[in-house]
A and B are shown apart, each in its own frame.
Chain A
Amino acid sequence: MSSFKTFDIAGSGMSAQSVRLNTTASNLANAESVSGDPNAVYKARHPIFEAVRAQLNAAGPQTAQSGPAVRVSGIYESQAPAAARYEPGNPLANEQGYVYAPAVNVVEEMVNMISASRSYQNNVEVMNTSKDLLLATLRLGQG
């Protein structure tokens, strides 16, 4: 039945947004994880969203979708260079006295977090409304 697909769609949106929230949390938590080796330092992670293309179904001409609507096709690591800081007292510093901080843009991550949580709420709202509509449909003819 087509009405239940709305739940799959909203669910896939919620799952994708929670992956985005997870990567944001990971980036923010590791924003100050310094390392003495610029190659070993933490790299900011970002999910790649992908729309699942409508698949045609020969049985029903009006069928729009099979499977969830959005999926995370991968997570890429930012290639931005690590920022060098001169901290000779830091036990992690290299011979020259430098530590390397990950290239995490905290402001960008906060904006990402707000955007992800709003989109998540949107999907929750869609699911709630669909649930109400379906329950009303089930009560059809009962008064």
Chain B
Amino acid sequence: MKLDQYLSVHAAALDVRGKRTELIANNLANADTPGYQARDIDFRQAMARAAGETPASGVHLSTTRAGHIGAGATSEAAANPDLKYRTPLAPALDGNTVDAQLEQAAFAENAVRYQATLTFLNSKFRGLLTAIMGN
């Protein structure tokens, strides 16, 4: 039995949750920056990638000649395929799309889910310890 397999999705989930914490912290830090666009992580897609699947990614433009440019070809989008821009409910006049209350809610939700993942991992380790000690 491999430890990675035993921990199943929870190790990857912890990683993705950690990244999401960072992203939302970034959004909150830039709540008053003109022109800043709020970002979030596509959790389902990130987890699918962590599981080794290649998630179906949006629309593609077929390129038939050397000079053609495919959709989503920016280097940043290619390097961080799971990062998405948040659709703003009421964008500010200065171009900022951070909704502080929404981000706070997302941050709290993410923190609770992070702790849930920690609880899962803890119980996995406790199970292992019980198996090792035998009592």
Find out whether the CB atom of A3 lies under 8 angstroms from the CB atom of B25. Answer: no
Q: How far is the CB of B130 from chain A (nearest CB, A)?
A: 12
Q: Chain B residues near A68 (CB, 8 Å)?
A: 29
Q: B1-45 CB contact bits vs A (8 Å, 1 = yes)?
A: 000000000000010001101111110111111111000000000
- Which residue of A5, A69, A123, A132 has the most chain B CB atoms within 10 A of its CB atom? A69
Contact size range, A: 35 or more
Q: Chain B residues near A12 (CB, 8 Å)?
A: 29
Find out whether the CB atom of A62 lies under 8 angstroms from the CB atom of B80. Answer: yes
A40 is an interface residue with CB less than 8 A from chain B: no
Q: Chain B residues near A122 (CB, 8 Å)?
A: 28, 31, 100, 104
Find out whether the CB atom of A50 lies under 8 angstroms from the CB atom of B33. Answer: yes
Find out whether the CB atom of B100 lies under 8 angstroms from the CB atom of A9. Answer: no
Find out whether the CB atom of B22 lies under 8 angstroms from the CB atom of A140. Answer: no
Give the docked Cα–Cα distance between A34 and B93 (Å): 34
A78 is an interface residue with CB less than 8 A from chain B: no
B121 is an interface residue with CB less than 8 A from chain A: yes
Find out whether the CB atom of A2 lies under 8 angstroms from the CB atom of B19. Answer: yes
Q: How far is the CB of B126 from chain A (nearest CB, A)?
A: 8
Give the docked Cα–Cα distance between A125 and B29 (Å): 11
Q: How far is the CB of A80 from chain B (nearest CB, A)?
A: 19
Find out whether the CB atom of A70 lies under 8 angstroms from the CB atom of B22. Answer: no
Find out whether the CB atom of A49 lies under 8 angstroms from the CB atom of B33. Answer: yes
A111 is an interface residue with CB less than 8 A from chain B: no
Q: Chain B residues near A70 (CB, 8 Å)?
A: 29-30, 33
Q: How far is the CB of A48 from chain B (nearest CB, A)?
A: 8
Q: B71-113 CB contact bits vs A (8 Å, 1 = yes)?
A: 0000110011011000000000000000010001001100100
Q: How far is the CB of A49 from chain B (nearest CB, A)?
A: 4
Find out whether the CB atom of B122 lies under 8 angstroms from the CB atom of A126. Answer: no
Q: Chain B residues near A62 (CB, 8 Å)?
A: 19, 80, 82
Find out whether the CB atom of A65 lies under 8 angstroms from the CB atom of B22. Answer: yes
A110 is an interface residue with CB less than 8 A from chain B: no
Nearest A residue to B50 by beta-carbon distance?
A62
Of A49, A69, A129, A132, the residue contacting B32 (CB under 8 A) is: A49
Complex interface residues of chain B between 55 and 85 (CB less than 8 A to chain A): 75-76, 79-80, 82-83
18 contacts between A and B (CB under 8 A): A3-B18, A9-B26, A10-B28, A13-B28, A13-B31, A20-B32, A49-B33, A56-B75, A61-B80, A69-B25, A70-B29, A116-B32, A125-B104, A129-B107, A129-B111, A140-B121, A141-B121, A141-B122
